[in-house]
Amino acid sequence: MSISSKAWRWLAFDTSTDVLSLAVAHGNQVWTQTLPGGAQASSGLIPAVLAMLAEADMPLSGLDAIVFGRGPGSFTGLRTACAVAQGLAFGADVPVLPVDTLLAVAEEARFVQSEQGLCLTDLTVLALLDARMDEVYSAAYRWQGAAGQAQGGWQDVASLQVSAPEKIQMPVGARVLQAGNAFAAYGDRLPQGERCVALPSAAALVRLAPALWAQGQAVPADQAMPLYIRDKVANTTAEREAMKAQAANAKAAAQA
């Protein structure tokens, strides 16, 4: 069976922003849910995941992988996503599939454009997420695919970085779309141009998952690690203990 024809079974979630986004997919059927994120994600993610899997009648052990937004984003949110992905994957003996959150922003923007019937030919997306502390996470991607069709793939144009809004450079492209959640806070300080509000949704993670799987991006549970691109490169002792506790709770839930 080819990658494109397989009826994939995914659990996907992103907690990198103030929104908790969840999705469960079996083939073309996708269940989605959006809940408050931030501090509430640490306590609400596991119950919401188990409820959605039950609604879809899909056991954790039957998943192809657990897909999660690895960052950049909120440190607390990324730790929550990684700990829960690790625990659930260990308990169910399935791999994890980490996805860059800015790539998910680009995919969400592409999907919105496609749903609106807009042309995707030569589309370049400059993904922008509010990094707080007067900075913005950014990366640029170019869509390679037929106009108006979902078949295609993403090519990196500009690598992940964090900077002041004024330092962000527009990528070269026939059509460049800025997408993300940074416009309300930094609108006048960002480059001028076409804009689209978009978040790294779990549905976007599901759409990205087959191509990333084909590229060999799925890894064992213990490699579910956050992507920090600020100076912070390690968790404190308290943060490591919190991650261990969350992972243990998720593993117990997966085995229950």
CATH of the domain at 223: 3.30.420.40
Residue 66 corresponds to which tokens in the numbers above?
């657990």
What average pLDDT does the segment 208-221 reach? 97
* pLDDT at position 4 over 60: no
Provide the domain limits for residue 18.
Answer: 9-100+201-255
Residues 88 and 114 in one domain: no
Residue 137: what pLDDT?
Answer: 98
Are 133 and 165 in contact, with CB atoms under 8 Å apart? Answer: no
Residues 193 and 225 in one domain: no
Burial 214-242 (b: 16+ CB within 10 A, else e): eeebbeebeebebbbbeeeeeeeeeeeeb
**4 inside domain:** no
Report the DSSP pairing between strands 175-180 and 194-197: parallel
Q: Which residue type is seen at 193? A: G
Residue 37: what pLDDT?
Answer: 84
What rounded mean pLDDT belongs to the chain? 90
Residues 110 and 156 in one domain: yes
**30 inside domain:** yes
Per-residue pLDDT tens for 56-110? 999 999 999 999 999 999 998 999 999 999 999 999 999 999 999 999 999 999 9
d(CA 193, CA 124): 12
Model's pTM, two decimal places? 0.88
Residues 151 and 225 in one domain: no
Residues 83 and 147 in one domain: no
Are 92 and 46 in contact, with CB atoms under 8 Å apart? Answer: no
Residues 15 and 128 in one domain: no
Residue 29 corresponds to which tokens in the numbers above?
């059927």
Residue 42: what pLDDT?
Answer: 78
Per-residue pLDDT tens for 99-138? 999 999 999 999 999 999 988 888 999 999 999 999 999 9
**Greater confidence, 256 or 36?**
36
Residue 45: what pLDDT?
Answer: 93
Are 88 and 66 in contact, with CB atoms under 8 Å apart? Answer: yes
Residues 43 and 87 in one domain: yes
**1 inside domain:** no
Report percent pLDDT > 90 for the chain: 75
**177 inside domain:** yes
| Domain count for the chain | 2
* pLDDT at position 220 over 90: yes
Which of 178, 197, 216 terminates a domain? The answer is 197
